[in-house]
Structure 1
Amino acid sequence: MTEYEVVEEKQNAFSEIQRGSTGRKWTTYRTRRDKLRVSMRKARRLHEKKLLIMLDKIKRAFFKYVNSRLTVRPEITAMKASDGRLVEEDNEVTKVLVQYFSSVHTSHRGEEMPEMQMMTDTQIGNITITPEMVEKKLEKLNINKSCGPDEIHPHVLQKTAKAMSKPLAIIFQKSLDEGICPKEWKCANVTPIHKKGDRTEPSNYRPVSLTSQVVQSS
């Protein structure tokens, strides 16, 4: 049996649990899960042996694999301020990064939108958001993602999809009708990701934003 077939077996077993959890289904899932783990370990060891044998010829591939296996990423310990100083305190590092990201951010200037050529005669009518629509979206949330500033984890939203669908549908509809987005939905957890080069240079980082999972479900 190939690795792909083992993965498919495990996924099918998990799908059966989602349809209805029973002791027998959980036993089948654990068996296939453990089988997949053994298969993955064997495949990983075989790949590592091949890399070691061909190290002289494919050094780049070897070090790329080593970096991919690192579980601890280097933290930001220092950052260059705009005046050239090297700051090391967490709050000062944060201020430097915020200042840089703000300087390169293009904000809305309040100018009037240019006239656009009419491309179609059809128009979007009234949009009605139903609890059923929201429930389906919540059920499809990726539970492996982190929660946003509101600290509501997607796993919680998924498990309470039916109960949460009605109040969220009301909020979404009101936001759409009034053309107003709640300020809480505009907040995000911003993480600086190093691109390349000097780690103390703010321009060598890009911001990654994580907003509320409620917003992402919509």
Structure 2
Amino acid sequence: MILNEFEELRNYVNNSKRNAKNEYYINRLKIKEGNIKDTWGIVREVIGCEKKDMCITNLKTSNRIIHDKLEIANYMGDYFSNIGSVIQNEVSRGGCAVNINVNPTSMQNGFEFVPCNVEEVEKIVCSLKSNSSGVDGLNLKAFNYVSVYLLPVLVHLINLSMVKGHFPSELKRSKIIPLHKGGDPSEPCNWRPISVVLQFMKDLKKMLLQTSLSVPQKSDMQ
């Protein structure tokens, strides 16, 4: 009799703990809805997968192993910069190259630049979900505090950049962070680059994308 009561009480306590835990994580996920970074942090916490910060302590090259941090950084920078053309050449040699024929005359007078306004740029800024800081240390939260003052300036810079067809080289700076994909960490191919850019770059890229998507509708592109 006592054993049965103990088992019933134990099962009740375990079920209560399980339900409380489920409700706790469901509420946390609801609060972090739309925040991909924090959502994945909660998922890793639930499945017991701790985030591991990998550091490249040594790197294998074609003829030696590098240990110096600055030399590793420079080598990985060159590797990430050239890997695209290397893969393209390999694909071309394999006979898988794709040729796209575009009639140049179809683009004549086909692009009409429409200046953006404060409302459009504000909508783009609000659509950006990441709260991580750019290479300049500015994140969306800090930007939103002073957006009423910065948005008109941002709109002017975006319009000026598109009208002139020029983007200042100072704003092209980015910080490249290598993320380990798995496998031997000393092999360059087992890392992928994440580019941390300026907040202004994110806004301009989205604005350019919106503008370029409207081109086919205003041209005779086939």
TM-score range, shorter chain: 0.5 to 0.7
Number of residue equivalences: 160
The alpha-carbon distance between structure 1 residues 7 and 95, as it changes in their structure 2 partners (threshold 3 A), is: closer
Bigger RCO of structures 1 and 2 (CA < 8 A, at least 6 apart): 2
Q: Which residue of 1 aligns with 2:185?
A: 199
**Residue 150 (structure 1) aligned with residue 133 (structure 2):** no
1:78 to 58, 61, 67: 58
1:185 and 2:166 equivalent? no
Deviation at 1:185, TM superposition (A): 3.0
Q: CA deviation at 1:5?
A: 7.4
5+ residue gaps in structure 1? 13-39, 45-64, 108-113
CA offset digits 1:43-74 (Å, max 9, x no partner): 94xxxxxxxxxxxxxxxxxxxx44xx213323
Following the alignment from structure 1 to structure 2, what is the Cα–Cα distance between the partners of residues 125 and 87?
51
Pair 162,141 (structure 1): closer, same or farther in 2 beyond 3 Å: farther
Partner of 2:149: 163
1:76–1:199 Cα contact (<8 Å) kept: yes
Displacement after TM superposition at 1:151 (Å): 2.1
Instruction: Call closer, same or farther: CA 1:11–1:152 in 2, change over 3 Å.
Output: closer
Amino acid in structure 2 at the alignment position of 1:81: T
Give the aligned partner of residue 97 of structure 1: 76
Q: Give the Cα–Cα distance (whole angstroms) in 1 for the partners of residues 53 and 75 of structure 2.
A: 21
* Structure 1 position 135 matched with structure 2 position 122: yes
Q: Deviations over 1:161-205 (max 9, x none)?
A: 221110111100000001111213322111112223211111221
How many angstroms apart in 1 are the aligned matches of 2:63 and 2:108? 56
What is the rounded CA distance, in whole Å, between the counterparts of 1:6 and 1:177 in structure 2? Answer: 47
Q: Which residue of 1 aligns with 2:36?
A: none
Question: Kindly tell me: are residues 162 and 143 of structure 1, through their superposed partners in 2, closer, same or farther at Cα, counting changes over 3 Å?
Answer: farther
Amino acid at match of 2:60: K
TM-score normalized by structure 2? 0.59
Kept after mapping to 2: 8 A contact 1:196/1:204: yes
| One-letter amino acid matched to 1:102 | S
Give the TM-score, by structure 1 length: 0.60
What do you get for the CA RMSD once the two structures are aligned?
A: 3.6
Using the aligned pairs only, state the percent identity: 23
1:175 aligned to 2:161?
A: yes
Assess if the C-alpha contact under 8 Å between 2:54 and 2:180 holds in 1. no
Q: 1:72 to 1:131 in 2, by over 3 A?
A: same
